Amino acid sequence: MRVDINLASQPYEDARLFWLRWGGGLLALGILTLLLLIITVNGWIGARKDHQLISKYQAQSAARDKEKADAQALLNLPQNSVTRDRSQFLNDLFQRKAFSWTKAFEDLEQVMPPRLHVVSIHPELAPDNELEIKLIVAGDSREHALDLVSKMEASKHFHETYIEEENSSQGNGPGADAVQFHISALYVPETGSSSPGGAQ
């Protein structure tokens, strides 16, 4: 059988070379598409598991909140008011007994700038049962008090530190304090530390 091929109207094409070039590209594209599909499916499965886990934790949190609300409602009944007040008093007492004056002054000494000293310190329980200390410090300049607040915030034992009040002193002597500051901070005692000073 004789086949006539006109190369002028039908140019010769190397089909093998064409498929080697484009077939390889299509294969790579197919593999990339498959990988992206696998990653997408894995991500979807992971997101679904995360969503289920979050839902589980939210349900547990809601159950605990309900238990807390029920317990609070029970304590708020008139016949339980004495028990509630006694419990609050004892919790407050235990927290105060856990406060170590010696350790608190040691922690303050580490952050106290020069030419600034403590006039008074008073621990009390914050509404969320954290231990809050009220400080009155005095010195010769405002910069030292700001330095103290900054160092307390950087310390692991104090946080949410701020100046509540600032007063100028009227003392005229050579050692008199020029300014006085009322500082509030939440105090975080070292876990497991002893309380050599105790609460006085």
pLDDT at 23 over 80: no
**The CATH number of the domain where 167 resides is what?**
3.30.1360.100
DSSP assignments along 94-154, one per residue: HHHHT--HHHHHHHHHHHPPTTEEEEEEEEEE-TTS-EEEEEEEEES-HHHHHHHHHHHHH
Do 103 and 181 belong together in one domain? Answer: yes
Residue 37's pLDDT is 92
pLDDT at 200 over 50: no
pLDDT at 70 over 80: yes
Do 69 and 110 belong together in one domain? Answer: no
User: pLDDT per residue over 25-42, tens digit each?
Assistant: 778 888 999 999 999 998
Do 123 and 183 belong together in one domain? Answer: yes
Domain count within the chain: 2
Do 64 and 111 belong together in one domain? Answer: no
| Long-range CB contacts (within 8 A, 24+) of 92-99 | 92/125, 95/125, 95/129, 95/131, 96/123, 96/125, 96/199, 97/195, 97/198, 97/199, 98/131, 98/189, 98/195, 98/199, 99/123, 99/131, 99/187, 99/189, 99/195, 99/199
Do 69 and 122 belong together in one domain? Answer: no
Residue 171's pLDDT is 56
Whether 62 maps to a domain, the answer reads: yes
Whether 5 maps to a domain, the answer reads: no
Whether 189 contacts 100, CB under 8 Å: yes
Instruction: Give the lowest-confidence range in 55-59, 92-96, 99-103, 193-197.
Output: 193-197
Whether 133 maps to a domain, the answer reads: yes
Residue 38's pLDDT is 92
Do 107 and 142 belong together in one domain? Answer: yes
Do 145 and 176 belong together in one domain? Answer: yes
Residue 14's pLDDT is 56
Whether 44 maps to a domain, the answer reads: yes
Nearest to 135 by CA among 151, 175, 127: 151
Percent of the chain past pLDDT 90, that is, above it, reads 4
Whether 82 maps to a domain, the answer reads: no
Domain interval for residue 63: 14-76
Do 109 and 179 belong together in one domain? Answer: yes
Cα(141)–Cα(151) distance, integer angstroms = 16
Burial class (CB in 10 A: 0-12, 13-18, 19+), 185: buried
Whether 89 maps to a domain, the answer reads: no
Cα(127)–Cα(160) distance, integer angstroms = 14
User: pLDDT per residue over 125-170, tens digit each?
Assistant: 766 667 788 889 888 888 888 888 898 888 888 888 888 888 886 5
Do 182 and 103 belong together in one domain? Answer: yes
Mean pLDDT across the stretch 108-130?
Answer: 80
Place of tokens 């050599």: 196
- Tell me the pLDDT of the chain averaged across its residues: 77
Beta bridge partners of 165: 182
Mean pLDDT across the stretch 69-94?
Answer: 75
Whether 192 maps to a domain, the answer reads: no
Do 50 and 127 belong together in one domain? Answer: no
Do 72 and 103 belong together in one domain? Answer: no
Residue 182's pLDDT is 92
Do 65 and 29 belong together in one domain? Answer: yes
